[in-house]
């Protein structure tokens, strides 16, 4: 009875751990990976043609800026001009006029202008907003968070806002496919399952990894296996999967991999026309453990017998 | 085989190597062959030429893990080869009934025993039972030789 209780307790504890384990799925969506965050706390009233900019530092490498959100007081709407600059103040998107209406936040879609592709070596960029409508629009600013940096052009130089961050959120879209770090499996034993593991890297996060396999001589379709996330982070994690032993025959196995990231990009490692080949050999039967121990025991006994029966050397043989 | 020495009066003193010492010497040569054969088998199994053990399974995956496993594997193979070389050196010494050779032989027996126990307990499946069988054979021969050396150590003074 006591043993049953202990078993029940262990089972419940195990299930609790499984349920409480963090999900391997992305905990964030692609459009809020880089933004000047937080709820607005204060408001400022920029003058006409006054420019403010928000500095973003998303993961490096190529990505796409597809739009932005801006908070303005709906009672005093102002049209804006928006430009995007890189950290060296080079213009990635020249000033464009946008009309805004309705209720905040106002979504400004850069899609109509074509996506803004940031260079591979640029880690910071600015979204600059200029008010072109007469009047005094109210812009909400955020003083409670540290993420992001806001700047204002004063006399041609960039000056950071001392009183908080302006509420402009940029949509930064991941356009780079995940990358594999995998040394392909070359050999396997017939009838034994093949475990395939790899590290998959992506600046924004890997969504899923799939293994496709088939028997080498079958020329049929590849069977998919969804790989399991087993450790690391979404940006650099270990994924693994197993090809069942019944499919591992002397014909050999072909496989390739496919990964998708949370931005919807995907990459193949190998492919259906050029898969990785696994040579399958017939396994030499393993010697059971008791035979090994028996052999050690027998050799030890022989040594002991020799120790007893051999005469002890006392003199020196000379001539 | 003879070993010519001179006593304190300068007279030639020829020492004969006993049959037992010769046998022990050749036994260590067999041990050396076994150990080097084991190293070769481990290398062949890693490259999938000989389907023993499961080392090739661990040579796939993230590159840094594969590099680490390769490093440990190379160390294991080199250690086995080093034991084989020591066994050859012992053979030469034992055939001349040298004291240092008897000492080395006993130490080598201990090292082979330790290596075999590690292989047996940690995971015999990684390097395969053929490799383990060779290690057990090397251990058995070296243990029997050690019994002889224990009884005849004075011969090597």
Q: Distance between CA B77 and CA A246 in Å, rounded?
A: 33
Note whether B152 contacts A310, CB cutoff 8 Å: yes
At residue B7, the pLDDT reads 60
- The three-state secondary structure class of A26 is coil
| Positions of chain A with pLDDT lower than 70, given as ranges | 1-4, 6-11, 14-67, 69-78, 87, 104-105, 111-124, 131-175, 315-319
A238 CB near a chain B CB, below 8 Å? yes
| Cα atoms in the Cβ-side hemisphere of radius 13 Å centred on A95 | 13
Q: Distance between CA B155 and CA A293 in Å, rounded?
A: 33
Instruction: Give the single-character DSSP code of A245.
Output: G
Q: Distance between CA A167 and CA A173 in Å, rounded?
A: 19
CB distance A194 to A243 below 8 Å: yes
At residue B82, the pLDDT reads 94
Three-state SS letters, A248-308: CCCCCEEEEEEEEECCCCEEEECCCCCCEEEEEECCCCCCCHHHHHHHHHHHHHHHHHHHH
Note whether B52 contacts A284, CB cutoff 8 Å: yes
At residue B123, the pLDDT reads 65
Note whether B147 contacts A183, CB cutoff 8 Å: no
Q: What is the pLDDT along chain B (157 residues), one digit of tens a residue?
A: 445 556 666 666 556 667 888 899 999 999 999 999 999 988 888 877 777 777 777 888 899 988 898 888 888 899 999 999 999 999 999 888 888 998 999 999 999 999 888 888 876 667 777 888 888 999 999 999 988 888 887 777 7
Locate the chain A residue with the closest alpha carbon to B47. Answer: A187
At residue B107, the pLDDT reads 92
- The three-state secondary structure class of A225 is strand
- The three-state secondary structure class of A196 is strand
Q: Chain B residues with CB inside 8 Å of A286's CB?
A: 124-125, 128-129
Note whether A183 contacts B63, CB cutoff 8 Å: yes
Note whether A292 contacts B64, CB cutoff 8 Å: no
At residue A289, the pLDDT reads 79
Size of interface A-B (CB pairs under 8 A): 123
Burial of A148 (0-12, 13-18, 19+ CB in 10 A): buried
At residue B70, the pLDDT reads 86
Of A104, A30, A23, nearest to A69 by C-alpha is: A104
Locate the chain A residue with the closest alpha carbon to B19. Answer: A317
Note whether B60 contacts A186, CB cutoff 8 Å: yes
A295 CB near a chain B CB, below 8 Å? yes
Of B61, B146, B155, the CB nearest to A198: B61
- pTM for the whole thing? 0.61
At residue A44, the pLDDT reads 59
Q: Distance between CA B127 and CA B59 in Å, rounded?
A: 13
Of B62, B125, B147, the CB nearest to A199: B62
Of B13, B6, B17, nearest to B152 by C-alpha is: B17
A177 CB near a chain B CB, below 8 Å? no
Find the radius of gyration of the CA atoms of chain A.
Answer: 33
- The helix (run of H) or strand (run of E) holding residue A213 is strand A206-215
Q: Distance, in angstroms, between B85 CA and closest chain A CA?
A: 23
At residue A27, the pLDDT reads 29
Note whether B129 contacts A316, CB cutoff 8 Å: no
Which position has the token pair 């496989």? A255
Note whether A317 contacts B132, CB cutoff 8 Å: no
- The helix (run of H) or strand (run of E) holding residue A198 is strand A194-201
Q: Which residues pair with A35 in a beta bridge?
A: none
Q: Chain A residues with CB inside 8 Å of B46's CB?
A: none
Of A287, A299, A302, the CB nearest to B132: A287
Segment A64-108, tens digit of pLDDT: 666 676 666 666 556 777 887 776 777 777 878 877 777 766 777
Assigned token pair, A205: 């996060």
Residue A67 sits at φ, ψ, to 5 deg, of: 170, -175
Substitution target in A201, A231, A233, A306 with the highest count of B β-carbons within 10 Å is A306
Q: Distance between CA A35 and CA A168 in Å, rounded?
A: 7
Q: To 10 degrees, what angle do helices B19-46 and B129-151 make?
A: 160
Q: Which residues pair with B57 in a beta bridge?
A: none
């Amino acid at each position: 009875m006591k043993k049953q209780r202990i078993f029940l307790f262990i089972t419940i504890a195990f299930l609790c751990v499984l349920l409480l384990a963090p999900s391997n799925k992305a905990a964030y969506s692609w459009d809020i990976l880089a933004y000047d965050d937080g709820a607005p706390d204060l408001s400022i009233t920029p003058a006409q043609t006054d420019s403010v900019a928000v500095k973003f530092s998303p993961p490096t490498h190529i990505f796409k800026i597809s739009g932005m959100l801006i908070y303005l007081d709906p009672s005093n709407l102002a049209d804006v001009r928006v430009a995007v600059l890189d950290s060296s103040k080079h213009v990635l998107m020249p000033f464009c006029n946008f009309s805004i209406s309705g209720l905040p936040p106002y979504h400004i879609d850069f899609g109509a202008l074509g996506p803004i592709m940031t260079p591979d070596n640029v880690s910071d960029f600015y979204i600059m907003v200029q008010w072109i409508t007469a009047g005094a629009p109210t812009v909400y600013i955020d003083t409670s968070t540290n993420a992001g940096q806001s700047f204002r052009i004063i006399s041609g130089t960039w000056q950071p806002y001392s009183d908080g961050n302006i509420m402009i959120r940029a949509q930064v879209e991941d356009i780079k496919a995940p990358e594999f770090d995998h040394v392909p499996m070359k050999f396997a034993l017939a009838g034994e399952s093949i475990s395939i593991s790899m590290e998959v890297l992506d600046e924004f996060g890997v969504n899923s990894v799939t293994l496709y396999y088939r028997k080498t001589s079958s020329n049929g379709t590849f069977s998919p296996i969804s790989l399991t996330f087993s450790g690391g982070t979404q940006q650099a994690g270990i994924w693994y999967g197993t090809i069942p032993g019944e499919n591992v025959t002397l014909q050999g196995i072909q496989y390739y991999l496919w990964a998708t990231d949370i931005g919807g990009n995907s990459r193949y490692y190998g492919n259906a026309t050029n898969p990785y080949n696994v040579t399958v050999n017939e396994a030499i039967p393993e010697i059971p453990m008791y035979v090994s121990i028996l052999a050690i025991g027998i050799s030890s006994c022989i040594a002991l017998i020799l120790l007893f029966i051999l005469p002890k050397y006392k003199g020196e043989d000379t001539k | 085989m003879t070993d010519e020495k001179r006593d304190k009066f300068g007279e030639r003193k020829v020492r004969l190597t006993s049959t037992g010492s010769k046998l022990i010497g050749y036994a260590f040569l067999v041990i050396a062959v076994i150990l080097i054969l084991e190293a070769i088998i481990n290398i062949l199994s890693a490259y999938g030429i000989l389907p023993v053990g499961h080392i090739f399974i661990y040579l796939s995956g993230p590159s840094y893990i594969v590099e680490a496993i390769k490093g440990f594997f190379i160390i294991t193979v080199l250690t086995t080869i080093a034991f084989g070389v020591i066994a050859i050196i012992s053979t030469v010494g034992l055939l001349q009934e040298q004291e240092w050779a008897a000492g080395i032989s006993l130490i080598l027996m201990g090292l082979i025993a330790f290596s075999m126990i590690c292989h047996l307990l940690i995971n015999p499946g990684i390097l395969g039972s053929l490799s383990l069988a060779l290690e057990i054979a090397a251990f058995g021969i070296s243990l029997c030789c050690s019994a002889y050396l224990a009884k005849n150590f004075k011969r090597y003074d």
